[in-house]
Structure 1
């Protein structure tokens, strides 16, 4: 099945005991979430993918209820709100006193499908607008509503760069930062898309670049790990397009124009700025880690040791006030809605935000020459 980061995310929201988990289980066709009359049964978000006709695989997320009055209510509600930035759409299970919650959801500017849960309780009141969910067959109404509001255009790494049938070289260094026994997600997605579009992929490390350049003719594009951006550009830059996996993911997941515009603000750095480096992955930092080691070292070499760095991982992005620059990873583990929520927050607060690949291209003086 398609990776979850490329699937649409639908977050189920509502008050405690409003039928969220019952709805989630009905959509899944299984008991994926615990259902109980006990208040506050759902604690952490429960997520599961299902194939929706006309949409493909979709991630549905069951969340803890609002107005939870248990001892852990504040923490549960914090986790529920953390899911909102990942949503492409909301399903709201209607109940009494929903106005404040619906007003909060409306601030996210995402579609809201209202559902009246009659599958596990009597509904004798008239809520007007909304899907009346009586049994499992009511799923089709939910799916129809989702198809009307979700963009079904498939995300693409290579759109606008090369045509079908192109020849691509993918440079994947296998050093200590490379995951043992597997490829990183960005590399996997690039190979998958190239295969689907009938392209020829030549996969190589960074030690045989000249040999590949001289041996193969008609190379249309070279995609590399950002760590070897300049090395690869020096070999292939005069003969074909060159970019990085991180740049391509920042284009597909985020706002590449804002990232490039923000990177140019490095020109005004004085050497005492505060920089937030945000990593979507949860792997522990390595000795050659690009986010915690290599990029800070490159920035210090350019601007001095007075720069102040803060590092965050996964969902930790709560407080970005006071930073002069945010440098984000490619976001291959996040869906587009999640990355864009961070971009929009940075824009609202007037904070420059760029990404790993764009930053390295800037520091190596090739930003204006990379393809995207």
Structure 2
């Protein structure tokens, strides 16, 4: 079911355009449901409207209906800002053109989408009222955007648009991306170390742990799940060595001491750093911890908002461990949710969460934006392993890092 899929693995498709271009009607036509409110009054959609949908063969996706990018006034400016935020985290954009045709507004939207390197499709809507001119089609195609004609009122062209969205989807949505499957083989034993702390949801495991466990089972391997206090005894009682041990980053130092060096070891967060982002970049970003000075500000990036707990990993533990490791008087600021600060230049380092609630496109866009501003970025698991002195060992299982100049491997 598309509603059950984790938000961070869904393809995000944004419908953008001017007010009254028919975006809401087109969303309803694409999903076959009355998801969005439809009216002839311009500006009916004020906040982005999300609709989960199963778009085969891609699987679960999220369509976003957005406010018009030609809105006016102070409130209209806020609506357009919300639309741009949705576009920033989208994997595919559908620019909907109404009966006014391609104007400066549509050109601006296309330029914005192109600047974000988002695959784009132009949907000429309301073709029962107007046929797009050849010059408009040529203009859109010159910008690398395929063009389709649709009529949201009758549903004409909706299936063709869905096929175009499937074709435009980034490669990782059309090819399976692995968390741990390329590190293990059928029949292998994998030990997962899962501490139960205040941050763990009652009666459940956190999402990275669940996804790793599921992939181990999908690979026809054997998953053994233990708490950190049991790892030494479990390893001693196993008939053969596990192919891999995966631990929660918060206990990586103690687990590393209990797991022999001839057993590969990594963390859930490091697996997600590779799955959702660019692991080599995040490992290089961790080196910036050594260069921090008194008074430097570190941005803690959280992909989701949550209630703070007494010993919160991002707000309490990582700042404490980094301060102890560097011996510096550091400042830490937390930025939570899908937004990312505009003034990145004032930070010396970004330490990002595992991004289990972000799509890979959005996480890569954040990494690339930091790189464009000359700002190093790492993630929770990599940073924790760095300051605990076990990073070389934690990244050793990954083939793409074995020849990289990250220092000598432990052991």
In the alignment, the residues of structure 1 paired with residue 362 and residue 260 of structure 2 have an alpha-carbon distance, to the nearest angstrom, of 33
More moved, 144-153 vs 293-302: 144-153
Going by fraction, where is helix more abundant, 1 or 2?
A: 2
CA contact (8 A) 2:181 2:216 kept: no
In the alignment, the residues of structure 2 paired with residue 88 and residue 207 of structure 1 have an alpha-carbon distance, to the nearest angstrom, of 42
Counterpart in the other structure of 1:225: 248
More moved, 146-155 vs 207-216: 146-155
Task: Give the Å deviation of 1:96.
Answer: 3.6
Deviations 1:313-342 (A, max 9, x none): 112312322111000000001111111111
Q: Is the partner of 1:136 in helix, strand or coil? A: coil
Counterpart in the other structure of 1:266: 289
In the alignment, the residues of structure 2 paired with residue 55 and residue 124 of structure 1 have an alpha-carbon distance, to the nearest angstrom, of 31
TM-score (norm 1): 0.95
CA contact (8 A) 2:95 2:109 kept: no
Counterpart in the other structure of 1:328: 352
- Note if 1:368 corresponds to 2:398: no
Aligned mate of 2:167, from 108, 126, 148: 148
- Note if 1:67 corresponds to 2:67: no
Moved over 3 A (4+): none
Aligned mate of 1:257, from 267, 274, 280: 280
Counterpart in the other structure of 2:406: none
Aligned mate of 1:92, from 92, 95, 101: 95
- Note if 1:289 corresponds to 2:289: no
More moved, 343-352 vs 99-108: 99-108
CA contact (8 A) 1:291 1:356 kept: yes
More moved, 121-130 vs 3-12: 121-130
CA contact (8 A) 2:181 2:215 kept: no
CA contact (8 A) 2:189 2:244 kept: yes
Matches within 5 A, 1:174-193: 174-193=196-215
Indicate how the Cα distance of structure 1 residues 71 and 266 shifts in structure 2: closer, same or farther if over 3 A, else same.
closer
In the alignment, the residues of structure 1 paired with residue 91 and residue 376 of structure 2 have an alpha-carbon distance, to the nearest angstrom, of 24
Task: Give the Å deviation of 1:101.
Answer: 1.8
Number of matched pairs: 371
In the alignment, the residues of structure 1 paired with residue 260 and residue 306 of structure 2 have an alpha-carbon distance, to the nearest angstrom, of 32
Q: Which runs of 5+ in 1 are unaligned?
A: none
Counterpart in the other structure of 1:56: 59
Give the root-mean-square deviation of aligned CA atoms: 1.6
